[in-house]
Every structure is written in C-alpha cells, then in structure tokens.
Structure 1
Amino acid sequence: MISIEQTREITLPSYLQWVPMVVREGGRDGRGSVSMLDLMVNSLRMRPDRIIVGEIRRAEEAEVLFEAMHTGHSVYATMHAETVFETFKRLVSPPIELPEVVLESLHFVLSMYRDRRSGIRRVFEIGELIPSEKGESVRANIVYRWRSSRDKIEEENPSVRMLETLRTYTRMDDDEIKASIKERAKVLHYLADKRINSVEEVGKTIVQYYEDHDSLMKKIAK
C-alpha cells in the first residue's frame, strides 16, 4: 500500500506493508522538488495493491487520482465536499474541471460530516457514479443516506454499479451477494457493540475476516 500526500496526515495500522510518500518543495530555482505526479509515477513502479492519494484541492491532484485509477489499481482519496452530488460538481467544475467521461473510473463516493452535538464524525451519504449508455456522462446514485430524525443510515436507492461489478468478477448471484453483505454488516455490528474502534483493532478484525473467516464468525456468534 502506498500513500501520496502534500503533507503527512494519513495513519494506517502498523502491521500493513505501507510506504508513505510526501511531496517535497524545491529550492528557489525549483531544483530538488518532487510533485504528486512524480510520486505517482514512482509508486506505479513499486506495483502496489492499493494507492491512497491525499486531499484533492487542485486539478493536479485530481489528475494524479484518475491516472492511478486508470492503471487498474484500487485507489482512495479525500476532498472537501458535503454531499455525493457536491463531490461530483467539484470534480467537473473549475478549478479542477475534469471531463465527465473521466469520472467513470470513480465507483463510490462516501461523504462525512462532524456531528456537533455528539462531537463525532458520521457517514452522511454513500453513493456511486453511474456512466450513461454512451459513456459520455455520469450521474450520481445515492445508495445510503443518514436520517437525522431516526439517527440511522437507510437505503435510498438500490445499488447499480456495485452489483454489476460483483456479478461480473465474483460469479455470485444476487442472493449470494445479499448474504455476503449481511454477514459483513454482522461483523460491523460486533465491532460497534464491543466498542472496537481503533485503527489497529478494526484493521486486525478485517484481516481476520478474510484470513480466518470461520473462527471470527464463531466468535461473533457466541
């Protein structure tokens, strides 16, 4: 796993094979500088499983983000936007101004906000970007949204792109996909009930889910 940032902010579990990369400013003549694009090129030579691109503020960072996606890697990034739709609008409007056709590479958008009453950060929306039939534009599909009156995240619309991707690459049918999602939800409820919320402990549980699945599910069932 490789992270690319303007300034070092991301923290990941210590047991991950993680290479953090940070932009370096050059001297007055510009010599010795290392840009995000430079780091992107170098990261691809390392053949990472996942790439994390830090906060997207300008067109250059967005270019790096989508270049990474087009290489076939799993890519994650952050940017300031209050909703899924606002994220989409920021990416296609100045100063970033990406063509909509490029956004086909972006599958999921998760928006968060800080709840001032409780002082914690909450997931507000989870959405996906769905390309048109001709591939010339994309639209935002809100899959889940937090309802403040009930303090619950509820399904807004059925997922389209996620289901298509899972069917294509896993050969799972709809019933198997729903069962798998339900099982993962059970793991998350277990973490919440046990107040397991540190980066290290949550990460270890997720690793165990994939590497020692049966033992974890037996522990959760007790």
Structure 2
Amino acid sequence: MLAGVAGGEVPGGPDAAVRAAVRDSGRLLGSSALHDLSRAACAELVGAGPLQPLLDDPTVTDVLVNGPDDVWVDRGGGLERAGLDLGTPADVRGLAVRLAALGGRRLDDAVPTVDARLPDGTRLHAVLEPLAESGALLSLRTLRLRAFTLDELVERRALPPEWTGLVQALVVRRANVLVSGGTGTGKTTLLAALLSLVPPDERVITVEESRELVPTHPHVVPLTTRRANVEGAGAVDLAELVRNALRMRPDRIVLGECRGAEVREVLMAMNTGHDGGLATLHANAVGVVPARLEALAALAGMPREAVAAQAAGGLDVVLHLRREQGTRFLAEVGLVGRDAQGELEVRTAARWDGRGPFGVDGATWDELARRFGPW
C-alpha cells in the first residue's frame, strides 16, 4: 500500500496510506506516535527524507548539501550549518537519485546532473561524482506558498516605506517593469508582491522555467517549460510559451526570468499593446541592464539598434535588488530610455542602501513622477 503513495495511487494521500498500513498490521499507536510515523514515512516516500524538516521550516529558503555531514540552510540572513548527518556518501547519492525520480527525471552515471521540480514545488538541482569530486551535491530551493505584502516587505527592510506608493502606482498605471538583481536577491519575492497588487478583474499569465511565482491573485494562469524526452523530442521553451501566452487573452504577461532568446518575444509583446508586463533579469546594477538585454537579444539574432528601439519603447522602469550582509532590499529605481546617441540607457531615479534615507536624482525622479505619479 505504501508503495502506491509515491505514485499517487492511494486515495486520501500519504497520511491515509500510513494509517491504513498501521491498521492492517494490527498495531496500536497513539495519535502523536501515529503522526510522527506518518511524517517520517511521507518524508521517505514522497519527500526529501532527513532533509524534509528543513524544507518544512517556513523560514528556510534554500537547503544545500555538500556532503553527508556538510548541510547548510539559508533562512534569509545568509548560510548557516544545519548540524545534520545524512550518513554516508552512498546515502547522499541515493537520496539525490530518489529525489530526481520524484521529479520525473533520471540521475545516474550517464546523466550526472539534473534540474527537477519535486511534488511539493521544491526546486532540485543535483550533481553526481565524478563531476562533483566529493560526492553527490544537492541544492534545494523551497516554493513560497504565500506572497509577501508590501507592508511585510517594509517590515523586513526590503523596501523603504516611502516607495510603497511608487511601487503600487507602477502596477496600477500598467508600467512595464523589469526586476533585476543577482542570484538570491529576492527578485521572485518582489515580483510576486507586485502581481498581488494587480486588480482582481485582470487575467495574469505567468511564464516560467519551473513554477516559483505564487501571487495572491484570483486569476493567475501559470505556464512552465517542458524538457525534451529521452528521444530528444517534446521540448517547449520559454520563447514558445510567451508566444502562446499572447493568444490566451492576457491582461498581464509575466516572464519569471529572461535568460535567453525569449527576451525578443517579451519586448515585442510590450511593444504591441500588452502593457503592465513584468519580468526578471540577472544583472549587477541598473546601469548594466542595457548590456544584459543586448547580450540576451543577440541570442535571438536581434541587432543592437533593434534592441534599443524595442526596449526603450516597451520597458518603462527597472527595479534593482541587492543583497548585502544577508539582507535583501530594493536598491535602485531606474527609468528606461535612450541617450543622445540613440543608445539604450537606464537612468537611476532613486537609490537606497537598505538602512538610511533614500536619495534621488532630481531630474530623473521628476520625470518618473510625471509619467506614473502621483503616488
């Protein structure tokens, strides 16, 4: 009976299967003991085994395994040791292989790396030896089941309170917004908060490689990519999903992350009447966003002049996030346009260090206020 839990064949879910198995065995267990047994069995069958308690912790965003006794977690303030022993290197490899199988992927000597999504939404990346000399490596990122509100972001010092009106105005006035930042700076967190501000009568279509956006909104249609099968067929990439989203009567099109040729479809959508779009982009600062867009668009065969014209015509604002000393915060607000030579540029309208008062560039800030104010 428990074997059917992993395959989703048991009515009532894992808890019901465990209770039925205990009943059939003739054993008598108290409610607390039965609950503990159920949690342990579910963790081993359809969860992350000994790592499951860490993933169940609502403060944990990432769990990293570098070896049997080298487990780290990130609770938003930087990495810290978990103090967990997973046994032997063979146990870690076995756990990685089982988790990959739960995500519908293969992980072995022939395919030593994997990206997968576990049944609970957790994102898995795993690497086996000999690519990882010390043994199997696992990187797990949890799926946040609830989007933060702007007030909660302010409480966490991720957003200065004076910018809440600006952020709300950008969404309500249907600005096309690009959220930029490095890895782990909170781009998806901010994007989900922005989407939660979209009026409830609007249809939001999200396009992601693997689903991470769970905004508080009544009409969200998620689309996720599909990898090719073992025969190399059946792949559906981000660019194709964006094209399909355009035919689904969207009020807002949201791209979880621009990382390749799909940036062409996003820019075209924003230039053809699909206002209020949002996307994220990896970048180190507001000033380097044009170079990042040009590099990605080049993968789609777009010349530099076309990128400048499309981006300046389609994008309005860049919200840039930074992470310093374990704190994630909105550091810069940039206005997209073209310089005197016609080159794409993003001018910083306001900046914040995550602690003190924010500063503004008078002329650019005033232009931002004229276009999207008052707030």
TM band (smaller chain): 0.5 to 0.7
Q: Matches of 1:38 and 1:96 in 2, distance apart?
A: 15
Shift of 1:41: 2.0
Q: 2:328 aligns with which of 108, 112, 121?
A: 121
Inter-partner Cα distance in structure 1 for 2:280 and 2:296: 17
Determine if contact 2:316/2:336 at 8 Å carries over to the other structure.
yes
Specify the SS of the correspondent of 1:8.
Answer: coil
Are the equivalent residues in 1 in contact too, given 2:286–2:318 (CA < 8 A)?
Answer: yes
Change (3 A) 1:95 1:132: closer
CA drift at 1:163: 4.5
Match of 2:244 in 1: 42
Q: Which structure 2 segments of 5+ residues have no match?
A: 1-203
Cα RMSD, aligned residues only: 2.4
Residue in structure 2 matched with residue 10 of structure 1 by the alignment: 213
Report percent identity of matched pairs. 29
243, 263, 270: which one pairs with 1:69?
270
Aligned AA for 1:91? L
The CA deviation string for residues 105-151 of structure 1, in whole angstroms up to 9 with x for no partner, is 111111101231xx3311111001123578x4332211001146x62
Partner SS state of residue 88, structure 1: helix
| Equivalent of 2:350 in 127, 144, 147 | 144
2:271·2:310 contact (CA, 8 Å) conserved in 1?
Answer: no
Q: Which residue of 1 aligns with 2:310?
A: 102
Following TM superposition, the consecutive aligned residue runs of length 4 or more in structure 1 with deviations greater than 4 angstroms are: none
Conserved in 2, the CA contact under 8 Å of 1:2 and 1:18? yes
* Displacement after TM superposition at 1:84 (Å): 0.6
Q: 2: CA distance between counterparts of 1:95 and 1:52?
A: 17
Deviation (angstroms), 1:160:
6.0
- TM-score with structure 1 setting the length: 0.64
Task: Determine the C-alpha separation between the residues in 1 that align with 2:318 and 2:296.
Answer: 20
5+ unaligned residues in a row in structure 1: which ranges? 167-176, 182-222
Q: Indicate conservation of the 8 Å contact 1:115/1:121, yes or no.
A: yes
| Pair 18,91 (structure 1): closer, same or farther in 2 beyond 3 Å | same
Q: Is the 8 A contact 1:23 1:36 kept in 2?
A: yes
2:197 aligned residue? none
Q: Provide the secondary structure at the position in 2 that maps to 1:67.
A: helix
Aligned residue for 1:27, secondary structure, equals coil
Q: Which has the higher helix share?
A: 1
Q: What residue identity is the alignment partner of 1:156?
A: D
Q: Could you tell me which residue of structure 1 aligns to residue 227 of structure 2?
A: 25
- Residue 360 (structure 2) aligned to one of 151, 155, 160: 155
Counterparts of 2:322 and 2:263, CA distance in 1: 22
Distance apart, 1:35 and its partner CA: 1.8
Q: Distance in 2 between matches of 1:86 and 1:132?
A: 14
Structure index of larger Rg: 2
TM-score (norm 2): 0.39
